[in-house]
Structure formats: structure tokens, C-alpha cells
Amino acid sequence: MSSGIEYRKDGHVARVTLDNPKALNAINPAMDDALLAAWTDIDADPDIWVAVLDATPGKAFCAGADVSGGTDRDGRMALGGGLTGVGGPLVTLKKPLIAAVHGYVIGGGFELVMAADIIVAADDAQFFIPEVKAGIIGESGILHRAVRRLPHHVAMGLILTGDRLPAAKAEQYGLVNEVVPVADLGAAADRWATKIQAAAPLAVQAAKEATLRGLGMTLEQALGTKYESIEAYAGTKDQLEGLAAFAEKRKPVWTGR
């Protein structure tokens, strides 16, 4: 039986695809388990430098949790293999994650996308939090992320009305990095992956870890904190390669070591 997730490696890029089109790529417990396995493998593989999350073409990128099969074995809805922190411990991916989204990005699917570092949206993408419009409200993770990723009143407008946010507006508000035609979505995600791979992989990971950790602090605390990943980068082969390449006026050749 298919897990509803396609996971493959393409050089230094890990590609994770939601593949449950009959349910608008909604995430069921089997998919949730497969996503967690993918994130775990991506973080453990030093030859993977960046991950891309997309979905099977169709009407929706992701409709959130697939409620048609009920809840998972703990009585909770599955959602994102831990990236959202809903239904289990929060998983923070060490490697940079690019989300390439199209069509409807609904509820928990919207929440999963906001866990990415870079978001590329097709021009047909629409983001929305429909719970109150349907007369329901459950896990509140989507609310807390939305009000942190969008201007306060924009987020509250979406949360309290269930209105849709089209891709162009999402770009205007800084929610997404780029909006492209549907046909160009894969190429745009690959372009971002290529740009990230041009940088030192361990430095990228250290920068991500320090940035996200510092968000939970005051600026003064963040500036006064030493970050283990940055400290550990000192003396690595890639740091030495960066110094040598600069001195020799050539492009560095990274190894992720």
C-alpha cells in the first residue's frame, strides 16, 4: 500500500511530494509517519543539503489532515510528520526546506507550509484557514503561526472570517518568497535549491539553527548567546575550503563536512 508520500534524492536535494490526490493531498496517519521518516533521513544524511516539499498536481497542495480515516493511534489528527508540532512533539528540520505550493493551501496544509524556510507559490495558490466558517475549531497551531508570519490584522482577518489569501497578496505581505506561473513552479523551487547549494551546507544549517533559536529570545539575549552549531562549524573542512577559495580567488567546492 502506498504511503501517500513520494521521497527521493536528487544529488544534494531531497524531494518530498504529497501524493494523496483523491483527498486533495490531505495528510493521513500513514503519510504522517512517512513524512517523519523522510525528515529524519534528511537530517541524518550529510549529503543532503536542502529539501523541497511539493504535492501532486491538482486542485490543492494540501487540505490539512485527512479526517476521512479518523484519527491516529493516539486519538490525534496526523499533520506533517512533526514539522507543525500538532499531534506530537515539534520537529525542527536542520536542513533548509523549500515549499512549492499550488492551488488550495488549506488549514493544516497552510500550517505545514509555514514551517518551511522558503515558500514558492504558483499564481493559482490560495491560502486559508476555514475552520470558523465550517463552525469548528481544533488544534490552534495554525493560528499561532499565521499571526507570527503575517501582519497582525491580516492574520486576524483570515482567522476570524475564513477568507482566502491569494498568492499575489501573500507575496505582498511577505508570506511567500516568490509567485510564478503554475507551469514554472518546479523550476522556481529548483532555482532556490541551487542558490542554497552554492553556500556552505554546514554554515547554512548553523545559520538556520541560530536564527530560529534566537526568535524565542529578546534581541539582547540573542546577541549574547553562543550557538552550538556555529561553534561546531569552526575548523570544519568547509570552513577551511571557504577561506582557501577566497584567498585563491576561486569558487569553493563544498563537501558538507
Q: Which residues of 33-45 are buried (b: 16+ CB within 10 A; e: fewer)?
A: bbbbebbeebbee
Catalytic site includes residue 131: yes
C-alpha distances (whole Å) from 198 to each of 45, 143, 204 are 18, 35, 10
Catalytic-role residue among 131, 139, 228, 241? 131
For the chain, helix (H) and strand (E) counts, in that order, are: 10, 10
Gap between the Cα atoms of 79 and 145, Å rounded: 14
Which one-letter DSSP state was computed for residue 103? B
Torsion angle, alpha carbons of 241, 242, 246, 249, to 10 = 60
Residue identified by cell 483527498 is 23
What is the C-alpha to C-alpha distance for residues 242 and 112, in angstroms, rounded to an integer?
Answer: 34
How many CB atoms within 10 Å of residue 31? 26
Is 178 a catalytic site residue?
no
How far is 256 from 83, CA to CA, in rounded Å? 24
Closest CA to 62 of 8, 93, 108, 128: 108
> CA-CA distance, 30 to 246, in Å (whole number)?
47
Write out the catalytic residue numbers.
111, 131
